[in-house]
Amino acid sequence: MLVQYCLDGQDIETLKEAAACQYGNYGDLSLKMRYASTRWAKVTAQTVDRPGLLTIHVAPHLLQEVEIYDGQTGAGLAGPIGTQYPYSSEHGLLAGYTFAFDLDTAGQHTFYVRMVTYGLPYSFVEASLDPVTAQEQNQQIGLGIHLGVLGLLTLISTTVYIATRSRIMGVFALNILSLLLSILLGSGLMYVYLWPNSPGFNEWLFTTLFYLKPALWVLLAQTFLLPYQTPNWYRPACNIAYVVVLLMLGLSWLGHKEISNWLMLVFGVTLIPLMQLVAIRETSDIRALYRRILMLGYGLGALVMWIGLLITLYPSDNPRLPIQLSRLVDYVNPIVLLALVMFHYRETVTQLAVAEEENLTMRLGLEFEQRLREERKLMIDMLTHELKNPLASISMAMGSLSNAFKDSDSPVKRRLKNIDQSVRSMDLVLERCNLMNQLDHSALPFSPETVNLRNVMSNIIERFAEGDRVSLHFSGSDTFATDPQFFQMMVSNLIENALKYSAPNSEIKVSMTQSATNETSRLVIEVKNQIGSHGFPDKAQVFARFYRHPSARDKAGSGVGLYLVKALTKLLNGRITYEHDTEHVVFRIELPETTSDA
């Protein structure tokens, strides 16, 4: 039994031209001949003593037209059949067409097989003197097992999706269902049993599913990467991939299958998988192990498809090798997809466990912080209650003693004055701690009203013994709507901080600039002082609670002044910044104007 193929690189339409053609093995076919729309094969059978039954099998199923001629008489023995014709008895159930001929006489018999392709560079002929070979039986069993496994996977994944509404399981079910339908359509099973009189619909549906495969893989990759921060270019690239798939579908429906096939080769199995691999690699917040698993799965799928295409485009002497490799691809892809889905679920469980642990840690931290706040509030309330009355008594006694001494320069009077200043400092510390407690518990009432900036600033500066060091600069309106108590607290703390830590006798510059927009007015308060001997504070900690510069321990203070300024600024929907250079320190507050309706 000998099967050979016409090696002429041109379309041959007549039997006479086919008989004159040069024939050779399947592996000798040129690329041009494999893309010819009409191909010829010659079958030579030799019988010696007895008649025989010749079986000719032509594959694949998606051939538009198949005819068989007697090489001696030139008579047509079978056909035309194919995807352009309704179902007939010659349609085999294993991805092709089967013809049986009785060889009544001994000797050499020659048959010519004419095949009109579907735009794919693949078709072959097999011949045997046995009605059904063991190889064909094994192939039928393999196909049945393959369809059974895919059907079971489709059923399980669809059931899980309906029960859980998991997006990843839904996309996985779509991929497996597409693969199952492609095999049923490509083998001719659905054509035979569901629509035997509609070959065009079978061809159209198979084409659609074939070109949809890259889109389904892109959709699956997007679903895998959905919880992560993908590169900015990834989503537009996926949209371009979907557009290319639609273009391939449109061209194939219009009859330009060769163009669609090349687009499939360039984009479907080359650029699109490469794009997915690069996107997985550049996704920043994905775990290293999960990244490697995804890249391995997509790389393996693309590699297997590429090998299948290469075997189809550059065949060996075994014409069934592309079908066998295609079957292997159809086995590998579901396994790869299933492995990716299972690992995705494992990764999801791991992330949930980590998130639960972080939530527990955060909840315990919040509870601990709340308990600390309550304990601090209780302690400060106790200190305030226990110290306020003694401090008030000491202050009254100091006033009485001070009035008893007429000489203001006497040592006793100076000591009494120092004691009075210490009492006032202690009272101020208590007031700040109490204010900090109120801010922590959101217990400060907010009462905006219009204030006169010049008057308020004059009253604030008069409270400081070194108030003459402060210079005021105003720009814009003298009035501003805000909470006067909060405003005085913020500005007083900034000026006190500047007087305390600036160079001795240096100037403290305070500027207030008010600007109006179409919507509201804004006030910018800037306090600038020369850097003292203690240096400048740490920018990262300057507004932290109880922060004090290491070299400023000799100065009296509680370390909560600037913390209160920032908290009050935030309460007024404002913003505070701190800057410094080699000579000066600058604190800048920006406040929006607040009305009583706000």
List pLDDT tens digits, range 475-505: 888 888 888 888 888 888 888 888 888 888 8
The span from the CA of 487 to the CA of 479, in Å, is: 13
Assign 518 a pLDDT band (cuts: 50, 70, 90): low
**pTM, to two decimals:** 0.54
Measured in whole angstroms, how far is the alpha carbon of residue 156 from the centre of its chain? 27
Q: What is the pLDDT of residue 244?
A: 92
Measured in whole angstroms, how far is the alpha carbon of residue 278 from the centre of its chain? 13
Start-end of H helices in 283-320: 288-313
Which position has the higher pLDDT, 317 or 450?
450
Structure tokens at 542: 């300057």
The span from the CA of 588 to the CA of 527, in Å, is: 7
The span from the CA of 349 to the CA of 355, in Å, is: 10
Single out the residue of 319, 307, 311, 264 nearest to residue 39, CA to CA.
319
Task: Verify cis geometry, omega within 30 degrees of 0, for the bond prior to 60.
Answer: yes
pLDDT in tens, 504-516: 888 999 999 988 7
* Own/partner pairs, 234-241, CB within 8 angstroms, 24+ separation: 234/279, 237/275, 237/279, 241/214, 241/215, 241/267, 241/272, 241/275
- Three-state secondary structure readout of 499-565: HHHECCCCCEEEEEEEEECCCCEEEEEEEEEEECCCCCCCCCCCCCCCCCCHHHCCCCCCCCHHHHH
Q: What is the pLDDT of residue 598?
A: 45
State yes or no: pLDDT of 306 exceeds 90. Answer: no
The span from the CA of 87 to the CA of 194, in Å, is: 11
Residues 6+ apart with CB under 8 A from 177: 154, 158
Lowest mean pLDDT among 432-441, 504-513, 582-591: 432-441
The span from the CA of 405 to the CA of 564, in Å, is: 39
CA angle 528, 529, 533 (to 5 degrees): 150
pLDDT in tens, 8-57: 766 788 888 888 888 888 777 776 666 667 888 899 888 776 667 888 88
- Angle at which helices 453-462 and 484-501 cross, to 10°: 50
Read off the amino acid at residue 305: M
Which position has the higher pLDDT, 105 or 70?
70
pLDDT in tens, 309-347: 666 656 566 777 777 777 777 777 777 777 888 888 787
Q: Strands 2-6 and 76-81: what pairing?
A: unpaired
Residues 6+ apart with CB under 8 A from 428: none
State yes or no: pLDDT of 93 exceeds 60. Answer: no
The whole-number average pLDDT for the span 349-369 is 79
Q: What is the pLDDT of residue 111?
A: 92
CB 157 within 8 A of CB 172: yes
CB 479 within 8 A of CB 521: no
pLDDT in tens, 247-263: 999 988 887 877 887 88
Lowest mean pLDDT among 285-289, 426-430, 452-456: 426-430
Distance from first CA to last CA of the chain, Å, rounded? 96
Assign 588 a pLDDT band (cuts: 50, 70, 90): very high
Decide: residue 29, CB within 10 A, 0-12 exposed, 13-18 middle, 19+ buried: buried
The whole-number average pLDDT for the span 365-380 is 69
Q: What is the pLDDT of residue 558?
A: 59
CB 68 within 8 A of CB 112: yes
Lowest mean pLDDT among 187-196, 379-388, 416-425: 379-388
Structure tokens at 72: 């001696």
CB 139 within 8 A of CB 98: no
Q: List, in sequence order, every beta strand (DSSP E) within 397-440.
A: none
CB 173 within 8 A of CB 161: yes
Q: In what order do the strands lie in the sheet with 521-530?
A: 470-475, 508-516, 521-530, 584-592, 575-580
Give the single-character DSSP code of 193: H
C-alpha to C-alpha distances, 105 to 35, 50, 74, nearest whole angstrom: 37, 7, 17
Residues 6+ apart with CB under 8 A from 380: 430, 433, 434, 436, 437
- Calculate the average pLDDT of the chain: 79
Neighbouring-strand partners of residue 40: 114
State yes or no: pLDDT of 555 exceeds 90. Answer: no
- Which DSSP helix (H) or strand (E) runs through 192? helix 189-193
The span from the CA of 224 to the CA of 235, in Å, is: 13
Structure tokens at 414: 């100076």
Assign 246 a pLDDT band (cuts: 50, 70, 90): very high
pLDDT > 70: percent of the chain: 77
Single out the residue of 48, 45, 35 nearest to residue 9, CA to CA.
35
Decide: residue 210, CB within 10 A, 0-12 exposed, 13-18 middle, 19+ buried: buried
Lowest mean pLDDT among 31-45, 63-77, 207-221: 31-45
The span from the CA of 168 to the CA of 155, in Å, is: 15
